[in-house]
Amino acid sequence: METWRLLRTFDGPAGWNMGLDEALLLLPAERPTLRLYTWDPPALSLGYFQRAADVPALARVPRAVRRLTGGGAIHHAEELTFSIALPADHPLYAGPVRESYLRIHATIARALEGLGVPASPRGDRPLASDRPSGGMCFEDSCELDLVWGDRKGVGSAQRRTGGRILHHGSIKLSPSEFDTQVASIRSRAPGTTPEQLADLLRLAFEKEHGIEFTEESPGPEELSHAEERAPHFTSDAFLRRR
């Protein structure tokens, strides 16, 4: 059985959340890390490679950051966000990149089963929620995304650099002001909280992959990095770098 760190960092501000994810990617820990978190106040995140001009919602939101990972823009409200940080040669990420997405999404689907949510990969089917012209992640699905009720409810992206992987994703509890087309966990399991979903995710990773978690807080170096780098991720220069 492998031991991982579990970090629950709920209600973090946008820049700090991205700074801590960067710390997990760049400051390798002795063990793999699963981080589960929420955003307070809510914010929009752009994918690393997105052009700001391609996301009309950016002009309407009060807060925004640019992520380290690719993909479309996400409004981080009414959701649980996850990030996984580990060495690039970890067995969970062995083989084609596509297979690593399928493994992680299958684990999330296992967690959602506990809420009566029938999540499965989209495959080749079209979704009623697809509207790719707006640049929003949950309106532009791919075959690997988890869907239920003809809408996308889980999307994720990876960053691979320096022999490390950061896998970041969003699991939607219900629609929000700027993510109106998402699949809703609460439509199947009313009242579900981020804390309840976090517990189910922990159990799913333990059962699916033989992981034993030790629940910890971020280390001093990680916290210092997050505080120092937070302004960078919210800066206009970084937001509009593309």
Q: Which whole number is the average pLDDT over 213-232? A: 98
Q: Which whole number is the average pLDDT over 26-35? A: 94
How do residues 74-120 score in pLDDT, each as one tens digit?
A: 999 999 999 999 999 999 999 999 999 999 999 999 999 999 999 99
| pLDDT at 28 exceeding the cut of 90 | no
pLDDT averaged over every residue in the chain: 96
Domain ranges of the chain: 2-239
pLDDT for residue 133: 78
Question: Where is 183: in which H helix or E strand?
Answer: none
pLDDT for residue 29: 85
Q: Which whole number is the average pLDDT over 59-83? A: 97
| pLDDT at 242 exceeding the cut of 90 | no
Cα(93)–Cα(104) distance, integer angstroms: 9
Domain 2-239, CATH number (from 1.10.150.120, 3.30.360.10, 3.40.50.720, 3.30.930.10): 3.30.930.10
A 10 A CB-CB count for 212 gives 11
Please list the active-site residues. 137
What letter does residue 171 receive in the DSSP assignment? Answer: E
pTM listed for this prediction: 0.96
pLDDT for residue 1: 85
- The three-state secondary structure class of 53 is helix
User: In the chain, which ranges are continuous DSSP H helix?
Assistant: 14-26, 97-113, 194-209, 220-234, 236-239
Cβ-count burial 142-181 (b if 16+ within 10 Å, e if not): eebbbbbbebbbbbbbbbeeeebbbbbbbbbbbbbebbeb
Question: Where is 60: in which H helix or E strand?
Answer: none
pLDDT for residue 84: 99
pLDDT for residue 241: 84
- Using an 8 Å Cβ cutoff, are 105 and 156 in contact? yes
Residue 41 preceded by cis peptide, ω within 30: yes
| pLDDT at 15 exceeding the cut of 90 | yes
